[in-house]
Amino acid sequence: MPAATLLDPVLLEYAARRAYQAVRAYRRVLGEPPPPPWEDAPIGQKKQIYAEVRFWAQHPQAPLETAYEQCFAQGDYGRLSEPQRTERAIVAATALATLGAER
């Protein structure tokens, strides 16, 4: 699907919902609690999914690491559990493969 097509609000909404449903299903398979249904998802989560869908539509050949870093570079992560922290608790994309292998 061309990137310009996914800028159409109706198609963007459709693609974002499907991406979100895939994440919910994947978390269930892993035995983790899934995020809330799309209708109940916080607006911040929805904005993040929209941004990811737009990114992949515009950069379909981008390496996964680039998408991962892009996602966290512009995200809004909500309330901090430790307000005094100033650094982000992000794992490098290259380390994710080893984390997944340990499961």
Domain count along the chain? 1
For residue 95, what pLDDT is reported? Answer: 64
For residue 9, what pLDDT is reported? Answer: 87
- DSSP assignment letter at 6: H
Q: Are 88 and 71 in contact (CB under 8 A)?
A: no
Residue 75: give the domain boundaries: 3-101
Extract the tokens encoding 70: 């892009």
**pLDDT tens over the chain, length 103 residues:** 555 566 788 898 999 999 999 999 999 999 999 999 999 999 988 988 898 888 888 888 888 788 777 766 655 555 545 555 555 555 565 665 565 555 4
Reported residue count of the chain is: 103
For residue 90, what pLDDT is reported? Answer: 59
For residue 92, what pLDDT is reported? Answer: 61
For residue 72, what pLDDT is reported? Answer: 64
Instruction: Quote the pTM value.
Output: 0.62
- C-alpha distances in angstroms, 19 versus 43, 54, 81, 95, 103? 15, 12, 27, 23, 23
